Amino acid sequence: MTQLSNSLAAADLATSLHPYTDARALEETGPIIIARGEGIHVWDTAGNKYIEGLAGLWSVAVGFGETRLADAAHKQMSQLPYYHIFAAKAHEPSIRLAEKLVEITPEPLTRVFYTNSGSEANDTVVKLVWYMNNALGRPEKKKFLARNKGYHGITIASGSLTGLPNNHRDFDLPAIPVVHLTCPHFYRFGQEGETEAEFTARLLAELEAVIEREGAETIAAFIGEPLMGAGGVMVPPEGYWPGVEAICRKHDILLVSDEVINGFGRTGGRFGCETYGFTPDIMTVSKQITSSYMPLAAVLFTEEIYDAIADNSHKIGTFGHGYTASGHPVATAVALENLAILEERDLMGAANRLGPRLQEGLRQYADHPLVGEVRGAGLIAGIELVADKATRAPFAPIGRVGAQAAIFGHAEGLIFRAIGDTLALCPPLIVTEADIDQIVEKMGRALDRTAEWLAAQG
């Protein structure tokens, strides 16, 4: 096994560029090569067993090794391994999945456009909205409103919507007209003496002021994750989303719910917008739609938006947008089976049943000397590490302590993601109470080992 690991690592270092990785640091350490998965666990080529506490990348809802998904892929590959949906073509899996998505998402969402990833889905949102506004004779209505620390992908357009510095730095982003608003994270961005209600009111006042400054006639849409994921697992303050929706309706600004992480039961409701009490005009979904067994994403939108786009496609003679694998028959067949499993096993209700155990278990570490805040909803959680609990001062440089905590997590048999110095958890929806107790216990040991390491560092 070690010989295999060494040969694979050498080949990887000689040929690959990894996403979200310090390439030079990787040359020194080498990769951890994952060989197989079963349930909530994965094993590396050295034989080490881990609880996959981030469900891969927030996405493997049904766990690893689900034979029903493999069987669905095999059956579809045997019948129709590929066909496109360009130029008036169609096939049954993509049709049936569109029907299902319209059935389970909020009522106003009646139309589906397929992409391969959440990044492409949010990129497509930008193009759809621009196309629609041009068709409606509103060529100036092109700006997007997003939030600092929001994550919406990494294409030119979706990367511009993302509000994280390392997704912009040296990529010449943002490259589209976007205004980033204050991150709605009360712990980190609330002002001294400010209540949560006052924080919400300040953020809504900021939104109104930006709209007045920019001109509502120039703003196309507001995009946001209901619960912010890759920016650090940040729960919106009370009243925030209903307030945002009311302001968008007042000024004729479309509301886009990025459900790539939140969707299909992660936060407690079927979708994050249901958890936090707002109704979007557009929704993007990916990740848990297939449990990431196949690449797939979708944009859902209202009939009103569809009518404007359809009319313009008739005027031009085509809708000039799409991907070779849009609505891929194998991916959509796997998604249908995945959603069937979620429904049959009530996995979209798992966050309501088991979320309190995860959240309460992790909150026992609120008094840990390194922990500033424990936060989350349903089966998604974050633990923010700080240098000073009283002042909330972060470690400098941000990310060094979190990275070391992740190393200790691996040593304890738990994979979580260090987002700067926030330790993120998002286990598969198939977790049991016993699994959650193990996750909490292993996280505690990782925190203690990190504290010991810091003390040794002086």
DSSP class of 147: E
- Give CA–CA dist 214/443, Å, rounded: 45
Mean pLDDT across the chain, nearest whole number? 97
pLDDT at 3 over 90: no
Band (pLDDT 50/70/90 cuts) for residue 434 is very high
**In this prediction, what percent of the chain has a pLDDT beyond 70?**
99
For the chain, give every domain's residue range.
32-65+347-457, 68-344
- Cβ neighbour number for residue 390 with a 10 Å cutoff: 7
CB 69 within 8 A of CB 291: yes
Helix residue spans in 364-432 (DSSP H): 400-411
Confidence of residue 23 (pLDDT cuts 50, 70, 90): very high
| Distance (Å, whole) CA 54 – CA 112 | 28
Q: Beta-carbon neighbour count of residue 84 at 10 Å?
A: 17
Q: Is 22 exposed, middle or buried (0-12, 13-18, 19+ CB in 10 A)?
A: exposed
CA distance 72 to 67: 8
Q: Are 260 and 299 in contact (CB under 8 A)?
A: no
Class of domain 68-344: alpha beta
CB < 8 Å & 24+ apart, contacts of 197-205: 197/237, 197/238, 197/239, 199/237, 200/237, 200/238, 200/239, 200/240, 200/243, 203/237, 203/240, 204/240, 204/243, 204/244, 204/247
Question: What digits encode the pLDDT tens for the residues 90-129?
Answer: 999 999 999 999 999 999 999 999 999 999 999 999 999 9
Kindly tell me if the per-residue pLDDT of 313 is higher than 70.
yes
Q: Name the pLDDT band for 5 (thresholds 50, 70, 90).
A: confident
Over range 427-432, report the average pLDDT: 98
pLDDT of residue 458: 77
Instruction: Please give the distance of CA 426 from its chain centroid, rounded to a whole number.
Output: 10
Q: What amino acid is encoded at 11 in this protein? A: A
- At residue 319, the pLDDT reads 98
- Output the pLDDT for position 282: 99
Q: Evaluate if residue 450 carries a pLDDT over 70.
A: yes
Statement: residue 357 has pLDDT above 80: yes
Whether pTM > 0.85 for this model: the answer is yes
**What is the topology classification, in CATH, of domain 32-65+347-457?**
Aspartate Aminotransferase, domain 1 (3.90.1150)
For residue 18, give Cα distances in angstroms to 37, 159, 161, 293, 422: 21, 18, 22, 20, 22
What does the pLDDT average to over 371-375?
Answer: 98
Q: Provide, rounded to the nearest whole percent, the portion of the chain with pLDDT above 90.
A: 98
Mean local confidence (pLDDT), 386-414:
97
Predicted pLDDT of residue 183: 98
Q: Which of 294, 312, 324, 297 is nearest to 89 (CA)?
A: 324
Quick: pLDDT tens for 321-336: 999 999 999 999 999 9
What's the whole-number mean pLDDT along residues 398-411?
Answer: 98
253-296: per-residue pLDDT in tens?
999 999 999 999 999 999 999 999 999 999 999 999 999 999 99
What is residue 6's predicted lDDT score, i.e. its pLDDT? 85
For residue 446, what are the CA distances in angstroms to 29, 401, 450, 451? 20, 11, 6, 9
More reliable by pLDDT, 344 or 6:
344
d(CA 72, CA 62): 14
> 183-203: per-residue pLDDT in tens?
999 999 999 999 999 999 999
Of 394, 386, 406, whose CA–CA distance to 449 is shortest?
406
Statement: residue 237 has pLDDT above 60: yes
* Separation between Cα atoms, residue 400 and residue 293, nearest integer Å: 32
Query: Quick one: average pLDDT of 436-448?
Result: 98
For residue 89, count other CB atoms closer than 10 A to its CB.
10
